[in-house]
Chains A and B, each alone.
Chain A
Amino acid sequence: MDIDIPDPTDWLQTPIPGLQALESSLRCQVCKELFTAPKVTSCGHTFCSLCIRRYLSTSSKCPTCMKPDEEPRLRDNILVSELVGSFNTIRKQLLDTLRAKEKEKEEEEEARRRRKAEEEEEEEKERVTSIQPRAEKRRPYDDDDDDDIMEDAEPIYRKGKRPRQDTTIAPRYPQETGPPTRRSTRTSSQRTNSRILSSQTVVILDSDDEFLPEEDEISDNDDFRSNNNHNNNNNNNNNGSRAKRKAISRGVPETPTKNSDMVACPICTRLKDKSKVEAHVNRCLEGKRSPSPTPIKATNGPGTPLKRQPVSFANIPKPQQRAPYTDEEKKELRLPKGNASLTKEADIRKKLREFGIKYDAKGKESKQVLWARLQEWTNMWNANLDSATPKSKETLRRELEAYERHQSTQKPSVVQDKGFERDAWSKGHRSEFEALVAAARKSAAARKKENGVVEAGPKDQQLLDSMAGVQAELNGIDSPEVVEA
């Protein structure tokens, strides 16, 4: 189950972990998602419209402070809605930028550490050589110095470059696949070159021709030579920001992954992270070759809350969006909650029919079930009125069905003593149940005789059936002869 669920803890790995608190407060405490159509209770707590409506229909209290509250007193929280909208627009971009920054910082730190270690090594070597009595001491100082650096500089390139490619560069561009391409090696080596050079001071530059060709291809060398002294820093920056931009535009996660975790997509043969390959294959199958490179569409202004990003289970084509409901429409369309005991079953059916909601026409569903369905529909409908991007009636109906499917596995709550043992009870009273069924059967037969066959009320039959059902259930066995009778 590798669904990427955005979460406030994402910010903990960035340079600004405090953003976690900010995002937490933009999330509903019930569903833990960013607010959808936020509503504020009379005690001042904010929840998603649907979450609070659902909760209030089971208990009329605020989930946070338990103060009594009811649905009609809920108010729109416009400010929070705007906040969530603008936060959602920048979230991904902000996260990617901060992660890239963190990564860069780590890389720099790593490079600095490595450099320091090498410098120490160098010093150590120098000390060792200076202790030994040397004839070279006679040579002019700067010549000697130059040579020394030259000798040491070469291994630095080797050390500095090779591990880098394996650990950091390759996973950063997982799309660039197959044999690690020329292109990427070149740019990366170029970057490392220039970075190391800039820090190693400029001394080497005059004599680079001597060693560079062995290090890299000629073209690299050309590139390299064009980097003048004063250009060096500049270039470095460019490279850095280019890399950052790349990382952002691709939306590549910055966590380093090993090459062994990469799997080739069977359709486009691109290397993908194992955990992401499934989603990627789905996208490929749908013909969307490259995942959209622009992460955020800035079409919505800061004022309009964005629709929440759908989970990437499947890319369901979205039906046409309608504009948010106006206040007048809301007032007119808002459904009242009603009262279960004051509403007749027939009325519930009528209402369900009006809304086009399925129910069992043969009346096999109890009033309780029908009422629960109507309540859930009312909740969904009213929450949809609050939404900035209302769904169609058809979508709502589908969602209601899905919701009920998920709930149906639950057993209906039965009021029962804690220590009550159903099986023992039914076994112990078996004879009494049987006697009752027999008596009912007898009286039904007697009445039948009395009134003639025609008038044998269906009610009696129904009663018999239900009694037989009770007995069968209690005994845990099917007793077909009873039902037939």
Chain B
Amino acid sequence: MAAKAVRRLLSEYRELINNETDGIYAGPVSEDNFMLWECLIAGPPDTPFEGGMFSATLTFPDDYPLSPPTLKFTCDILHPNVYPDGTVCISILHPPGDDPNMYESASERWSPIQSVEKVLLSVMSMLAEPNDESGANVDASKMFREDRQQYENIVRRYARRTVGL
């Protein structure tokens, strides 16, 4: 574990506990490995995701914060910008160097001044406003565009499942 990354993560963790943001809960899985976090993201209100509690893991690279963490949902989720395996595809998690979709502006990409809190907030707004132009999950994108009703039904079912209903 890189000492520098761990120090920064500790400090971010303290800030998260002392200064709670609604709908976001995150913390290291264990004290032995500070580079792996677990987090819960509440489904944003007035969307089909409302009421759900989506669990995800955050994995930090050794050169964090130079490189971004990766975020992967560990629950079932249907979303145009989430790969079928749960990995989130969102501009804030892409380093400025590589642009898989060739159109993101540099300002919304990862930079060391971003933080766990900002990443999770972006994911929350991503849930509210999917970007169907850069579909990570092509089927979901297609459904989102062509059969919104079915998309919302599935999303609602998954959201209920996350809280054990």
Contacts and interface: CB of A to CB of B under 8 A. Distances in A.
Interface of A: 1, 3, 5, 7-9, 12, 29-33, 51, 54-55, 58-59, 61, 63-66, 311, 402-403, 406-407, 409-410, 418
Nearest to A405: B2
A96 B95 CA distance: 41
A1 B14 CA distance: 13
A1 B31 contact: yes
B66 to A, nearest CB: 6
Given A3-B10, A55-B112, A409 B62 contact: yes
Contact of A5 (B14, B63, B65): B14
Contacts of B95: 59
From B10, B12, B65, B112, name the one whose CB has the most chain A CB atoms within 10 angstroms: B112
Nearest to A24: B15
Interface in B102-148: 106-107, 111-113
Contacts of A12: 18-19
Interface string B14-53: 1100110000000000010010000000000000000000
Contacts of A64: 111, 113
Interface string B63-82: 10110000000000000000
10 contacts: A7-B15, A8-B15, A31-B4, A32-B7, A51-B112, A59-B95, A61-B96, A311-B7, A406-B4, A410-B62
B63 A410 contact: yes
B10 A30 contact: no
A485 B66 CA distance: 45
A66 B8 contact: no
A210 B66 CA distance: 73
A66 B66 contact: no
Contacts of B4: 31, 406
B161 to A, nearest CB: 29
Nearest to A29: B113
Contacts of B12: 32
Among all A-B residue pairs, the 6 with the closest Cβ atoms: A9-B18, A406-B2, A29-B113, A30-B112, A63-B111, A32-B11
Main secondary structure of the interface of B (DSSP, over half): loop
A434 B62 CA distance: 38
Contacts of B164: none
A31 B113 contact: no
B106 A66 contact: yes
Contact of A63 (B63, B100, B112): B112
A59 B97 CA distance: 8
A407 B112 CA distance: 17
A444 B147 CA distance: 63
Interface residues of B, number: 30
B66 A402 contact: no
B112 A29 contact: yes
Given A7-B15, A64-B111, A410-B62, 19 more contacts: A1-B31, A9-B14, A29-B112, A30-B65, A30-B112, A30-B113, A31-B7, A51-B112, A55-B66, A59-B97, A61-B111, A66-B96, A403-B2, A406-B2, A406-B3, A406-B5, A406-B62, A407-B2, A409-B62
Contact of B1 (A33, A61, A403, A406): A406
A66 B107 contact: yes
Nearest to A65: B107
Contacts of A32: 7-8, 11-12
Contacts of A403: 2
B61 interface: yes
Nearest to B19: A9
Contacts of B61: 410
A5 B62 contact: no
Contacts of A61: 96, 106, 111
Contacts of A51: 112
A307 to B, nearest CB: 16
A54 B15 contact: no
A402 B62 contact: no
A51 B19 CA distance: 25
A468 B104 CA distance: 42
Contacts of A54: 66
A59 B96 CA distance: 8
A65 B11 CA distance: 23
B138 to A, nearest CB: 12
Nearest to B83: A418
B66 A7 contact: no
Contacts of B100: 418
A384 to B, nearest CB: 16
B110 to A, nearest CB: 10
